[in-house]
């Protein structure tokens, strides 16, 4: 099985996470992206409860639970998968590159999730996607960039 792959990001999903990043500034924002078959469909904002939110993120547990519950209910009720399953975890960087920091890598616990980074360091928003993998217990996690395919909505 290869993990080299792509994430399909409809324009409205990209806009939603960039809007969240801009609103949260000077803090980092975070949240979950639902989707199916590597295609994102909906954004669930989650409060950032990190001690140092301009520089780090920690997702608030209750909101994560609620988002996952909403996705689960949608799966039961909606065979078309309009909401879908947990696909990605996103957060923003206010003034650094859209790349997982050492803390981000340490916090990343879901090898099957995409990690989407939004950077506002320049005037333009930069969005990148990764897998963060723990290949060897105790070793540093590896980061693989994933191609993002943008589609119109
Ligand atoms: Zn980060």
Look at residues 5, 44, 24, 6 and name the one whose alpha carbon lies nearest to residue 118.
24
Structure confidence at residue 45 (pLDDT) = 98
86 found inside a domain: yes
Q: How many residues does the chain have?
A: 153
Structure confidence at residue 79 (pLDDT) = 56
35 found inside a domain: yes
Q: What is the CATH number of the domain that holds 22?
A: 3.40.140.10
63 found inside a domain: yes
Q: How far is the centre of ligand 1, averaged over its atoms, from the C-alpha of 128 (Å)?
A: 12
Q: How far is the centre of ligand 1, averaged over its atoms, from the C-alpha of 77 (Å)?
A: 34
1 found inside a domain: no
Structure confidence at residue 76 (pLDDT) = 60
Cis omega (within 30 of 0) on the bond before 26? yes
Q: How far is the centre of ligand 1, averaged over its atoms, from the C-alpha of 56 (Å)?
A: 6
Q: How far is the centre of ligand 1, averaged over its atoms, from the C-alpha of 32 (Å)?
A: 14
Structure confidence at residue 32 (pLDDT) = 97
By residue range, what is the domain housing residue 67? Answer: 6-151
91 found inside a domain: yes
SS3 assignment, position 9: strand
pTM of structure: 0.91
Structure confidence at residue 111 (pLDDT) = 84
- Give me the residues of the chain with pLDDT under 50, please: 1, 3
Structure confidence at residue 1 (pLDDT) = 44
28 found inside a domain: yes
């Amino acid at each position: 099985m290869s993990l080299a792959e792509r994430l399909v990001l409809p324009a409205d999903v990209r806009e939603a996470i960039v809007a969240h990043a801009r609103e949260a500034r000077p803090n980092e924002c975070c949240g979950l992206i639902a989707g199916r078959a590597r295609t994102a469909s909906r954004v669930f904002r989650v409060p950032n409860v990190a001690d140092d939110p301009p520089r780090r993120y920690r997702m608030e547990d209750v909101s994560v639970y609620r988002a996952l519950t909403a996705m689960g209910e949608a799966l039961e009720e909606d065979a078309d998968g309009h909401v879908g399953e947990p696909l990605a975890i996103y957060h923003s960087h206010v003034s650094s590159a859209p790349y997982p920091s050492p803390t981000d890598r340490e916090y990343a616990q879901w090898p099957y999730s995409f990690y989407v980074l939004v950077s506002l360091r320049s005037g333009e928003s930069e969005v990148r996607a990764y897998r963060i993998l723990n290949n060897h217990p105790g070793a540093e996690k590896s980061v693989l960039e994933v191609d993002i395919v943008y589609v119109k909505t």
